[in-house]
Every structure is written in C-alpha cells, then in structure tokens.
Amino acid sequence: MAAQGPSPEAVGSVAVHTFAAQKSTTANMSMDGHHVNATAGGQGGGEPARFADYEDLPEGHFYDPDAEYEPDPEYAATLAPDAARQRRERVGPTGRPLPYFPIPGPLTEHGSAKVIAMCNQKGGVGKTTSTINLGAALAEYGRRVLLVDFDPQGALSVGLGVNPMELDLTVYNLLMERGLAADEVLLKTAVPNMDLLPSNIDLSAAEVQLVSEVARESTLQRALKPLLADYDYIVIDCQPSLGLLTVNALTAAHKVIVPLECEFFALRGVALLTETIEKVQERLNPELELDGILATMYDSRTVHSREVLARVVEAFDDHVYHTVIGRTVRFPETTVAGEPITTYASNSVGAAAYRQLAREVLARCHAE
C-alpha cells in the first residue's frame, strides 16, 4: 500500500491514523489507489480522528479510549496490531466481544429507585469521580438521580461545587435526627434531574455515635426510604474504609459497583471487600448484589495497565464492565471546576466513557 504513492511522511501519518480509522482509510483511496486522506470519517487536514461521542462513531468503529491521546507515531506503532484485532473482532478493551448498549428510551414514570453503592476501601480509585459522572450520565438519559455523599471528606459535594464547610444540614443530620425531612438536607445540582445529599466532617462523628444505636447498620436505609419513590437511581459515594458507614451504605443498596484502579495493587484487599459484601448479604441485606467491577485510570499505552486489566478480567470474568475508564487529566480538572465531565467537557472521551457506563448499567438492570 505504502509503495504506491504517499511520501514517507505521509506513510508515517497513515500508520498513526490507521489504528483509529483503518476502515475509512480504504474508503478514502482515490481511483488510482493513492491515499487522499487517511483520517476517519472523511475529515480533512490530516488530523487524527476525534469522535465527539460514542454515538457519533461511524459504522464499523467502536469506542476507542485511545482516541483522546496525542498519537505519537512510536506509540501508535505499538498499539496498531492490537487495535486492528479489536476492530476486526469487535473486541473491547477488556478483551471480550463488545456488546452494543442501546440508548435508553425516556421514562413515563419514576421510581422506585435502585440504590447503588460505589465502594472500595482502597483510597483514590475513582469512587467519587465515578459517582458524579455515572450519576450525571444517567441524569442526561432522563433518569432522576440522587447522589449521596457518604464520606466525611465531602469530596462528592466539592466535586459538585458545594462548599461542605458552609453547610448547616448534611446527611449526618438525616442519620442522627429522627423527624428531619430529607427535603431540608437535599440540594439541587447544576445538572438537571440530579440532586445531592451533601456531607462534611460532621459525618465522621456518626461512625462513633451509631455504634450505640438500635439497628445501627440500617440507619441510612431508613433515611433513604422516603426518597425511593422520587428517584430512579440513588448512588452512594462511600469512604475508603469498610467501617460502619460503608456497612450502612451496603445495607441500603441493591447493587455495588467496585471501581478498581488499573495498577499493580488493584486486587489487593478486594477479597476483604467481597467478603464484607457477602456478610452484608447474609446478615443484613439479602437483595444486595455485586453489579460490576469498573476498571478506572486505564492507560492502554502501558503494558502494565493492560496486564492488570487482563488479571482483573481473569479474576472477575463477567462481573467486569465492558466499559473501561481511561486515565486523563480531564478528571482532576472537573473537580476544580465543580462539575461532572459530561458538562465540563461534554465531547471528551471521558464523558463518552461514563455515558457508555450508564448505558451498560441500565442494560444490566433491564436484563434482570
């Protein structure tokens, strides 16, 4: 192919682009077989393909978390064989065939909410980021969403532009003061359809105070009960521990999502987490299910990331979501901006990934 026409530089750039857009490369051949344009979707100017969203992908293409990275030729060369296989076999980043997750239709009525606990006792794995962005993506699809900040650090509240220190009433009050209506604590977020039960450092006292309560493990479940009818999804952002607050979240939940950072120690401690989930299932909440393991901060440029993801799939098989969240600086930026990536950088690959996760979560719920 290269011998037929383009200059060596052009050949180099073709190599870069093919992993994103091999199919349209052929479509962009001129009559005599020369390359006219090697970019996807017929965009001119030799720019690499940047798809606005998963839905915008031309037929025959699929979500490619690598599309966001500046594709330097050396990197692209290492990726190309794998990406070509992925395209041919429609294999997703987890190495399994990538199913199609349909765009959910509108709802005619709302409730009763499915409660999801975003849980991993390991710190910094993407719990809060996933809570905000899964919530915002579900809300974009017309689902009514309540996010519960269940970490005394208040990172979820901060991530939605709320200053936790200025709050008079938080989820702590809802837990500890019988008779307090949830409406008094609820905050609207800038995202339509999405509300927040905020928290701040006060919540750390609850861990101690709850110990002497009757049915201490189901305090959050009781507090959320009146809200179930108003929402389709309630997502609880847990703190990085398996203490009483997390057990409360698991007792209140129907499903657990476990974000796992794609790094060497990712699987460490997961056995303890699954044991805790099983104990809560047995003793407190027989409805509880592990919905899925979410691989986060995946960087397909590193063999390490790919190996860790392969091991996670080996260990958890179908429990691992097909959707994988790539590592990008866009996520820390959104925390500073105090909004989800779906509004902060609506066309980014990160936003597309969380929209796909929302569709995958919805598809799993509907499959039941």
Ligand X SMILES: Nc1ncnc2c1ncn2[C@@H]1O[C@H](COP(=O)(O)OP(=O)(O)OP(=O)(O)O)[C@@H](O)[C@H]1O
Window of 124-132, 163-171, 226-234, 251-259 that interacts with Mg ion by CB under 5 A: 124-132
Q: Which residue's CB is nearer to ligand X, number 230 or number 299?
A: 299
Q: Which of 256, 325, 358, 362 binds ligand X (CB under 6 A)?
A: 325
Given ligand X, Mg ion, none, residue 332, with its beta carbon under 5 to 8 Å by kind, binds ligand X
For residues 81 and 67, what is the distance between their CA atoms, to the nearest angstrom?
15
Under the binding rule (CB under 6 A), the answer on residue 300 touching ligand X is no
Under the binding rule (CB under 6 A), the answer on residue 332 touching ligand X is yes
Subset of residues 235 to 294 that bind ligand X, contact rule: CB under 6 A: 240
Q: How many CA atoms lie within 13 A of 80 on its CB side?
A: 17
Given Mg ion, ligand X, none, residue 129, with its beta carbon under 5 to 8 Å by kind, binds ligand X
Least distance (Å) between residue 251 CB and Mg ion: 20
DSSP assignment of 169-224 equals S-HHHHHH-TT--GGGT-EE-SSTTEEEE---TTHHHHHHHGGGSTTGGGHHHHHH
Least distance (Å) between residue 239 CB and ligand X: 6
Given Mg ion, ligand X, none, residue 296, with its beta carbon under 5 to 8 Å by kind, binds ligand X
For residues 278 and 143, what is the distance between their CA atoms, to the nearest angstrom?
29
Q: Are 294 and 258 in contact (CB under 8 A)?
A: yes
Given ligand X, Mg ion, none, residue 327, with its beta carbon under 5 to 8 Å by kind, binds ligand X
Strand partners, 187: 196
Q: Which residue's CB is nearer to ligand X, number 129 or number 300?
A: 129
**What are the structure tokens assigned to 173, written together?**
């009050």
Q: Are 234 and 227 in contact (CB under 8 A)?
A: yes
Q: Which residue's CB is nearer to ligand X, number 113 or number 236?
A: 236
Q: Which of 115, 119, 155, 257 binds Mg ion (CB under 5 A)?
A: 155
Q: How many residues does the chain have?
A: 368
Window of 24-32, 65-73, 139-147, 150-158 that interacts with Mg ion by CB under 5 A: 150-158
Least distance (Å) between residue 124 CB and Mg ion: 8
**What are the structure tokens assigned to 322, written together?**
């097909």
Helices (H), the chain: 8-27, 73-89, 127-140, 155-159, 171-176, 203-209, 219-224, 244-252, 270-283, 303-316, 330-337, 341-344, 349-367
Residue nearest to Mg ion (CB): 128
Q: Which of 137, 147, 155, 324 binds ligand X (CB under 6 A)?
A: 155
Q: How many CA atoms lie within 13 A of 287 on its CB side?
A: 12
Return the residue matching tokens 């009757």.
Answer: 214
Q: Which of 151, 195, 202, 339 binds ligand X (CB under 6 A)?
A: 151
Q: Which residue's CB is nearer to ligand X, number 133 or number 193?
A: 133
Given ligand X, Mg ion, none, residue 274, with its beta carbon under 5 to 8 Å by kind, binds none
Q: Which residue's CB is nearer to ligand X, number 39 or number 164?
A: 164
Under the binding rule (CB under 6 A), the answer on residue 127 touching ligand X is yes
Under the binding rule (CB under 5 A), the answer on residue 127 touching Mg ion is yes
By three-state DSSP, how is residue 334 classified? helix
Neighbouring CB atoms inside 10 A of 97's CB total 10
Looking at residue 145, its amino acid is V
Binding site for ligand X (CB under 6 A): 123-129, 151, 155, 240, 296-297, 325, 327-328, 331-332, 335
Binding site for Mg ion (CB under 5 A): 127-128, 155
